[in-house]
Structure 1
Amino acid sequence: MDRRWGRVPRKETFDKNIRYAFTRPLEWWGKRPVCEITSSDINELYKAIVAEGKPAQANNVRGQLGTFFVWAMHDDREYVTANPCTKMLEDDIAVEKADIEDGRVLTADELRTFWFGLDRKVCPGSRLARLALKLSLVTLLRTGECVKIERGYVTAESVTLPLRIVKSRRSKKARPVVQPLNALAREILGEVFTIGDPNRRWAFPGKDEREGEHMTQQGLGRLMARRTTHKGHQGEGICEYLGLVNVTPHDLRRTAACILEQLGYDDKTIGKVMTHKTADKEAAPVTRERYLVPVQIIARPVDVRVKALDDLDAALREILGLPKAGTKTLPPTTKRLPKAA
């Protein structure tokens, strides 16, 4: 199919993840005709995967099977006459879900441990992989977006993620993601392109640069989570090395969002920085529900009035041509303030 961003498969999300989702059903049912698969077969497979402690995988497999049977029922094909993936009751799905919290937020001490620990030469992973994690923290971009940054789309002020790699690319109103870069992000990207070929396509190339591949989001996740106690381990991961418990790459994004809230920013602004959009382009509810949690990170949350007045100060100085604010403070006074009338 032709799209604004190029020619794509009709099923745009078809990739190795979807192929992997069908591996288990094919092994489970063997050479049975597809028209003989019943809802009982689907539920049996679903419960078997959940029993292995893999609820997310079970839901993914069931969702992909449902999409497949809808496709197979189309008038042009009619490979099956009914969809065995009947809609599950919400209570049934909730029972099967893993009983874990939706991520966590790093404390100030953990942030320091993480940031400076990544700079140690003996820290697990390549230097580029560790810089990708840092970049996600300071830009609030998803790690899956950070690894897809292309050299030609990086400027001194921002980085652009074109439509062909943005998750919302199937939306008719989809636009490329243009994320501003702060000073820390510019420092990180500056170092990134001093490693290896500075003119390469991807900022974070994969193991075999000749194939033109970039690092993967899953690879960064495994790098953080792997343990020496895991079967067939490849050495300790970043969390085990740094002594951090259950930290995922996405928790870095959640931590940065919580810091912004404690700096006085509202949900709408934080949602825009995180590229959470709804139909009216306001912040999506997911911003608060999934990211903003009551964990104190900075020493003292910023009063939004203080920030507003500081921004007014900076704007007036720019308009009037005054020098930027220095570090001078008001001299101490020994006079008593007059009592209020």
Structure 2
Amino acid sequence: MKFTDKGILNLKAKDKMYQLREDKGFGIRILPSGHKIWIFVYTFDGKRRQMNLGSYPAKSLVDARAAHAAAYAMLNDPTNPRDPQSERDQKHEGERQARDEHRKAPTIEKLVSEYIERHAKKFKRSWQEDERLLNREVIPSWGQLKAADITKRDVTLLLESIVDRGSPAMSNQVLKIVRKMFNFAIERDILQNTPCLGVKALAPNNSRERTLTESEIKTLWSSLDSPKVAMSNELRRALKLILVTAQRPGEVAGIHTSEIDGNWWTIPSERAKNGKAHRVYLTDLALELIGEQTVFDMETGETVPKGFIFPSPRVEIDPVTEKPIGKPIDAHALPVAVRRNLAWPMTDKNGKPLYDKDGKPATENKLSISQFTPHDLRRTAATFMAQMGYMDEVIDAVLNHAKQGVIRVYNLHKYDLEKQQALEAWERKLKNIVSGENSSNVVSILPRKKTA
């Protein structure tokens, strides 16, 4: 018989299931309930098979004919005849497995955790910065999404949102860490592809060239002594110590009394960026900024080492001993404090925000100098040492820069005396700058080569 829409619609249920067929095995089965199912009856490898093509009226006569035609063509392919039911079963099984795998696939929150534990903590000394950035910038937007569902467009929109809030440099840093996290996921066979492929930084990566002038150094030093600056005493002293010692902000923030022996501060390898222990000469001014290295223990009645020179105001309690756990100030607190004081929100006498003529929040520069970062203080100290005539090898030794090339193998000199001389000369120069005396009177203690 030839099926028609009207004929199929008028088919009535009977006490038993029955079937009607057109040619080439295309047919319809009518159940006692009245439910109608399109079928394809065929033989493959000598076995009779019956394939379900869908229910009527959800699948119309036209769609059922198309499904039958595709199955019939597969069965009668002259070059590669295949069982359409088995092919569909395999396809459905593949789709089911894909759904199961997707259901089990990690969310971004879980991927972040695995990346930090299995990669960042093992291979990056700055893993805490990765964790902080991902927790602040990525998890709030993507945390509960499947890692496999994140697209290139998602990455771009996230970066644009960071740029739009006025943090273009941060958007570049987010891209760098997110790209690394997704590459980690590919290496561990968590994902097959990265959504960061082809995504470009939205802001130019400007080279770090900022150094403070003598006038800016004097102003900053004075501002850090002023009560108008919204900053703890620990942060003020830490910023000054970066400038005096030319060491990295994170290393200064974590300085501990166990690392200090007289005038020498040894930064242990686990805290040094290049993984090499580093000796820093502490001048009188540096020791003054470090302050007392012992405290009176009320429980024992004894004087004990202070511990961290710049302790964190956030106190954590050891769940076992129920005593406070000593921690240093977070290295990230330094740049945050600087940024806040460079653009401190202004309010009226009632504490309500003030706005400028363009309707933007009015701000005050409490530090009274142009934008800078704590790391710029380290660069400033190195630059002034170079201006005083100290050679690059000595300055690199002060900064704990790794030796390059052949010199790394053959030059094993530690430069302790030279580091002491350079930092003492820089202290004299700095004191002159801060006091406002003629800094030209401070010269390098190294003899200069005569020029022809």
- Aligning the two structures, in what range does the TM-score lie when normalised by the shorter sequence? 0.5 to 0.7
Measured in 2, the distance between the counterparts of 1:65 and 1:128 equals 33
Q: Does 1:97 align with 2:211?
A: no
Choose which of 219, 224, 241 in structure 1 pairs with 2:366.
241
Q: Deviations over 1:313-339 (max 9, x none)?
A: xxxxxxxxxxxxxxxxxxxxxxxxxxx
Q: Unaligned stretches of 5+ in structure 2?
A: 1-119, 298-303, 316-323, 353-363, 409-432
Structure 1 equivalent of residue 388 of structure 2 = 263
Alignment of 1:134-145 (within 5 A): 134-145=240-251
Q: Secondary structure at the match of 2:261?
A: coil
2: CA distance, partners of 1:185 / 1:46 = 41
Instruction: Determine the structure 2 residue equivalent to 1:193.
Output: 293
- 1:1-341 aligned within 5 A: 9-10=121-122, 12=124, 13-15=126-128, 17-21=130-134, 23-29=136-142, 31-74=144-187, 77-86=188-197, 88=199, 92-93=200-201, 96-97=203-204, 102=208, 104-120=210-226, 123-168=229-274, 174-189=275-290, 191-193=291-293, 199-208=305-314, 210-226=324-340, 227-229=343-345, 240-280=365-405, 299-300=439-440, 307-308=446-447
Structure possessing the higher radius of gyration over alpha carbons: 2
1:128 and 1:192 in contact (8 A); partners too: no
CA shift, 1:67, in A, is: 2.3
Bigger relative contact order, structure 1 or 2 (CA pairs below 8 A, ≥6 apart): 1
**TM score, norm. by length of structure 2:** 0.51
C-alpha separation between the residues in 1 aligned to 2:142 and 2:222?
50
- Cα deviation for residue 255 of structure 1 reads 1.8
SS state at 1:179 partner: strand
Change over 3 Å in CA distance of 1:24–1:156 after alignment to 2: closer
Q: How many residues align?
A: 271
Contact 1:73/1:81, CA 8 A, preserved across alignment: yes
- Deviation, 1:145, is 0.8
Q: Greater CA deviation, 144-153 or 41-50?
A: 41-50
Offset at residue 156 of structure 1 (A):
1.3
Return closer, same or farther for 1:64/1:106 CA change in 2, 3 Å cut-off: closer
Q: Deviations over 1:62-92 (max 9, x none)?
A: 2222222222223xx522212222255xxx5
Q: Deviations over 1:128-163 (max 9, x none)?
A: 322212211111012211111110110113101112
Aligned equivalents of 2:236, 2:285: Cα separation in 1: 14
Q: CA deviation at 1:183?
A: 2.7
TM-fit CA distance, 1:279: 4.1
How high is the sequence identity, in percent, across the aligned residues?
28
- Structure with greater strand share of residues: 2
Q: TM-score, normalised by structure 1?
A: 0.66
Distance 2:294 2:225 in 1: 16
Structure 1: which 5+ runs fail to align?
A: 1-7, 169-173, 234-238, 283-296, 311-341
2:266 touches 2:277 (CA, 8 Å); kept in 1?
A: yes
RMSD: 3.7
Summarize deviations over 1:243-297 as a string: whole Å, max 9, x none. Answer: 2232332222122112111111123322221122244466xxxxxxxxxxxxxx8
